[in-house]
Chains A and B, each alone.
Chain A
Amino acid sequence: MVSAPPLRKTVYASLLAALIAAGAYLSVPIGPVPIVLQNLFVFLAGLLLGPRWGVASVGVYLLAGALGLPVFAGGVGGIGRFAGPTGGYLVGFIPAVYVIGWIAEKWETRIVYDVAAMVLGSVVIYVFGIAWLQALTGMTLAKTLMVGMVPFIPGDILKIAAAVPIARAIRPVIKP
């Protein structure tokens, strides 16, 4: 039996949105520092669902957060989060997932392109995040980068490295 594609995609996109939300509560310890898995699932939403459903998935996640459901990192919801210091990163998820999904769909199942897509996606997230953080705090660009990007880069590299085998393992499971 084959379900109608839109319904199945709707359910998958909701699942990824829920994974992004749950990712705020899941972490893998590296030494003493826990790595939160949230943007790993943002990457995977792009890789697994493609651009349009990826954006739908992240959009639903952000909307749920804006309505005050406890889905953002730290469990704090509410529309105030978009105005807070991390708002730029959240908004950046949308173009990032589109970019990742677009590249991944165009050159399917090539590891190099998957990695390139995720690197580009991270850059997009940081462009939005840093721009907003700087506008909000009025810090110099160098200092904003030190606070808002540099500490997270090692974690991002690890997440990109982990997303490649995950995407390879899960793609065959996903029904078109």
Chain B
Amino acid sequence: MTELTILGYCSGDSVLHKTDVRFKIACLIMISITTISANFWALSMLTLVLAVTFMHVGLSLTSAFKTLRYVFVLLMFIFIARILSSPGTPVFAFSKISVTREGIYDGVSICWRLLDVIVVGILFVSTTRSLEIKSAVAWLLHPIPFIPAKRVATMMSLVMRFMPVILDQARETADAQRARGVENRKNPIYRMSKLGIGLMRRTFERADKLAYAMEARCYSEERTDPALDSDSNDWIMLVFVMALCIAMTVV
């Protein structure tokens, strides 16, 4: 069974679901730029807003944690590296390693920033249909010469469509291999190649089917995209996010 991963679209009726994609992309970019130089106060503010939005959209926290478990490992590495590499007043020290106050501060703020941006990305992806992403990308790219905007847009929406499929398939393949005792094999090349072959075989079959389906439905690049329209609510949200970003840089 295809389990719903949080990296795909989840249907719903929230404010974010109704907002125009272009506004959501603008907000996404603004927030991720603002977080680069945000301090603790700004991050707390953003986290509060995100938490409220997260609950409003109605995503499941457990599945978010499940999808992001590797991210947490990565964040931990970054945190440890920061703690050990920043000079400053030591909090405590073993022979050569010393943990500094500045290091802890740095580590926490960097991981917090990354986590906030990840949550923003998740909110975007889970409230936006890939068709909408596609038309927004085409809209963004069409003034740029030499880029086939429509094809790029199609490819990008396919990427977002394939992502959850691949993650599901990878889990299925890994489970199947675990059931057959792959964990007794210590050779990482064997495990990587067997996982890769299983995963790619299946997903390429899926891609083939998709290509046939697109062709059967007379896919061409000259098709009409869904109309993008914005209303006053979108502007209100944009102004709100702008105010949030300005507040974050000021505090």
Interface on A for B, CB 8 Å cutoff? 1, 3-4, 7-8, 10-15, 17-19, 21-22, 25-28, 30, 34-37, 40, 44, 56, 60-61, 63-64, 67-71, 73-80, 158-159, 161-163, 165-166, 169-170, 173-175
State the Cβ distance, B116 to closest chain A Cβ, in Å.
Answer: 10
In the complex, chain A residues whose CB is within 8 Å of the CB of B33: 78-80
Contact yes or no, B121 A74, CB < 8 A: no
Decide if the interface of chain A is mainly helix, strand, loop or mixed: helix
Query: How many chain B residues touch A (Cβ–Cβ < 8 Å)?
Result: 63
Q: Is B238 an interface residue (CB 8 A)?
A: no
In the complex, chain A residues whose CB is within 8 Å of the CB of B122: 70, 75
In the complex, chain A residues whose CB is within 8 Å of the CB of B121: 68-70, 75-78
Contact yes or no, B70 A15, CB < 8 A: no
How many A-B pairs have beta carbons closer than 8 Å: the answer is: 184
Interface on B for A, CB 8 Å cutoff? 7, 25, 28-29, 32-33, 36, 67-68, 70-71, 73-75, 114, 117-118, 120-122, 124-125, 133, 137, 140, 151-152, 154-156, 158-163, 165-167, 170, 188-189, 191-193, 195-197, 199-201, 203-208, 210-212, 214-215, 219
State the Cβ distance, B11 to closest chain A Cβ, in Å.
Answer: 19
Q: Name B7's closest neighbour in chain A (CB-CB).
A: A70
Q: Name A19's closest neighbour in chain B (CB-CB).
A: B166
Contact yes or no, B204 A169, CB < 8 A: no
In the complex, chain B residues whose CB is within 8 Å of the CB of A14: 154-156, 158-159, 162, 207
State the Cβ distance, B128 to closest chain A Cβ, in Å.
Answer: 9
State the Cβ distance, B148 to closest chain A Cβ, in Å.
Answer: 10
State the Cβ distance, B177 to closest chain A Cβ, in Å.
Answer: 11
Q: Apart from A7-B219, A18-B165, what are 20 other A-B pairs with CB-CB below 8 Å?
A: A3-B215, A8-B211, A10-B151, A15-B204, A18-B159, A34-B73, A40-B196, A60-B152, A64-B159, A64-B160, A67-B156, A68-B121, A74-B118, A75-B122, A76-B114, A77-B32, A78-B28, A78-B117, A173-B200, A173-B204
